[in-house]
Amino acid sequence: MTSLKRIAPLGAFLALCLMAAPGLAETTADQPAAAKTEKAAKPGKKDAAPKEVNIEADQMEIFDEKKQAVFKGNVDARRTDVHLTCDELVVTYAETIDPTTNEKKNDVTFLDATGNVVIVTDKQTVTGKWAKMDVKANDLTVGENVKIVQGKNVLTGSKLFVDLDTNKSELTGGRVRGSFVPDQK
């Protein structure tokens, strides 16, 4: 663990990458499993400007040797368009060199949320026991008792995979259930 002096830079690199995608994809239970193989052929990633991220937790530790920051207890991470709550959030990062300035910087590589995970966007709420995000690949996986609520529509399954670049998602694991309620206009 390191001193509190290392906490200030942590906020800067978290703001660059934490929940880097614009939001969860429109989710359906019946999409092909080819999302991963289509990554090579898809157009370039969306280069949205970094958005400020604010994180609160009961406790935080930084492990320089492991290149990890661990937030524990009532974790609440907010960005303008995404709100994540969980029991624990592990942020893994890598030290890189900024090609424009030749200065060292930290880039988030993986996010691992566990315990009572709730992800809220302007379109949907996703819950599960855990969530993992590969920031470089821009993939999100949510597992165990996954529930997706979008308006009155509800989908449930064991595992949700979302490619945040292509907005393709797949809900798998045993029986997948959906309840679709049409808008009454």
DSSP lists the bridge partners of residue 84 as 77, 119
* pTM assigned to the model: 0.71
How much is the pLDDT for 125? Answer: 94
Beta strands 168-172 and 153-163 are antiparallel
Instruction: Indicate if the pLDDT at residue 15 is higher than 80.
Output: no
How much is the pLDDT for 73? Answer: 97
**Which pLDDT band holds residue 24 (cuts at 50, 70, 90)?**
very low
Residue (of 145, 96, 102, 142) closest to 119 by Cα position = 142
Mean pLDDT of 110-121: 94
Report how far Cα 115 is from the mean position of its chain's Cα atoms: 14
Q: Please state, rounded to an integer, the average pLDDT across all residues of the chain.
A: 76
Mean pLDDT of 128-137: 92
How much is the pLDDT for 50? Answer: 56
Summarised one tens digit per residue, pLDDT across range 62-76 is 999 999 999 999 999
33, 179, 156, 46: CA torsion to nearest 10: 50
Mean pLDDT of 75-93: 91
Mean pLDDT of 91-109: 88
Mean pLDDT of 99-128: 91
Query: Which three-class secondary structure state does DSSP give residue 162?
Result: strand
| Domains of the chain with CATH codes | 4-41+51-179 (2.60.450.10)
**Residue 19 to residues 13, 82, 113, 132, Cα–Cα distance (Å):** 12, 7, 11, 11
**Which pLDDT band holds residue 20 (cuts at 50, 70, 90)?**
very low
Distance CA 95, CA 12 (A): 13
Residue (of 37, 73, 38, 71) closest to 54 by Cα position = 71
How much is the pLDDT for 47? Answer: 52
How much is the pLDDT for 92? Answer: 92
